[in-house]
Amino acid sequence: MFQKGLKDVVAVHTKIASVDGEKGELRYRGELVDKIVSNATFEQLSTYLWTGTKEPVSLLLKEGRELPEHVSKLLLNLPINLQVMDVLKVAVSAYGTPSFLQKSQYEQSVILTAALPVIVAFYYRRQQDLEPLASQENLGHTANFLYLLTGISPTPAQVEALETYLLLTMEHGLNASTFAARVTISTESDIPSAIVSALGTMKGPLHGGAPSGVLALLDEMKSPEGVRPVIEEKLARGERIMGFGHRIYKTEDPRSIVLREKCLSLQGKDAWLDLATYAEKEIIHLLNEHKPGRKLYTNVEFYAAAIMRAINLDPTLFTPTFSVARIVGWTAHAMEQAEDNTIFRPQSVYIGKTFV
């Protein structure tokens, strides 16, 4: 049976997560995501996705915060004008040393999860002509990431906002980047290679670039008064409204509901969050008016962009920050694939010319 893009084809049995687009449910190991993120840290929830337990692997995470010398030197010698996603691919590849690959897949997964935000911050600060910073032992994973970017201890509200986003985007079923990671591991390749495959997929604008598109939309609207004319003009031209609609969810994206509540709790403290909460209501009304029956609801990228702007995250860091979260899902799936492996080998149908 041919199914373009493998849409709706079941390729994997998994215990990691489930996505029900009709009900608007995302579950991590059977638990609804909106419930599980309310009282979990990054360390706890990542461990839960990896192992099914919530005891955080803090020692390994802290070990991963110190980059190997050859990786640090590599980051100092790469061209200054690379995209951070490309830097991540190169840096993660550099972890594929014999000594690192002797570690268990679990240890590799934890260390690389800890290293990813350090790599992002290291190269970003270099682009800003700033010295890289050492991780702070007393800070958790999310707070340390913000500190490494800015050199300033983040406020609890900033940490809470970003950590909520990271927890909600750690895992989302067999999406494009996760599938790429599982395909790579299915060849009996290694964890760094699987992550590099996933990063290459995440770089594509159809997968990892959506928050940047939402930011451009908010920029274009500028104020509540600009929402209706901008959206009506885009709809008249047949343009897609970034941050609305999802390939899977036919109702509200459960992650956007949690992020909306976070934005509402910070209302009045940031103009971008205020604009986002106002714009969402207006855009939903216009979409229902112009595209009745299409079931176009707010997706996670809409409020993710607003939150990232509220914490002053540079737009070039949106997709790398998405990757800082999603590496947990990639590695969880890679380890699950390796436990009961069959190489992925779908068929293709030739439709070109045949010559005698």
Catalytic status, residue 246: yes
Identify whether 324 is part of a domain. yes
Q: What is the CATH number of the domain that holds 219?
A: 1.10.230.10
Catalytic status, residue 301: yes
Same domain, 217 and 160: no
User: What digits encode the pLDDT tens for the residues 203-217?
Assistant: 998 787 656 678 888
Identify whether 356 is part of a domain. no
List the catalytic residue out of 246, 280, 333, 336. Answer: 246
Same domain, 265 and 286: yes
Q: What is the pLDDT of residue 249?
A: 64
Identify whether 347 is part of a domain. no
Q: What is the pLDDT of residue 216?
A: 84
List the catalytic residue out of 43, 163, 280, 301. Answer: 301
Same domain, 173 and 243: no
pTM: 0.90
Q: Which domain holds residue 178?
A: 17-206+318-339
Same domain, 300 and 169: no
Q: What is the pLDDT of residue 1?
A: 74
Identify whether 196 is part of a domain. yes
Same domain, 35 and 55: yes
Closest CA to 210 of 256, 145, 157, 149: 256
Same domain, 131 and 254: no
Same domain, 177 and 266: no
Same domain, 78 and 178: yes
Question: Which residues in the chain come in under a pLDDT of 50?
Answer: none
Identify whether 11 is part of a domain. no
Identify whether 355 is part of a domain. no
Same domain, 30 and 130: yes
Identify whether 55 is part of a domain. yes
Same domain, 323 and 196: yes
Same domain, 51 and 72: yes
**What single-letter amino acid sits at 72?**
S
Identify whether 93 is part of a domain. yes
Q: What is the dihedral of CA 27, 30, 35, 37, to 10 degrees?
A: -70
Q: What is the pLDDT of residue 80?
A: 96
Same domain, 69 and 187: yes
Q: What is the CATH number of the domain that holds 158?
A: 1.10.580.10
Total domain count for the chain? 2
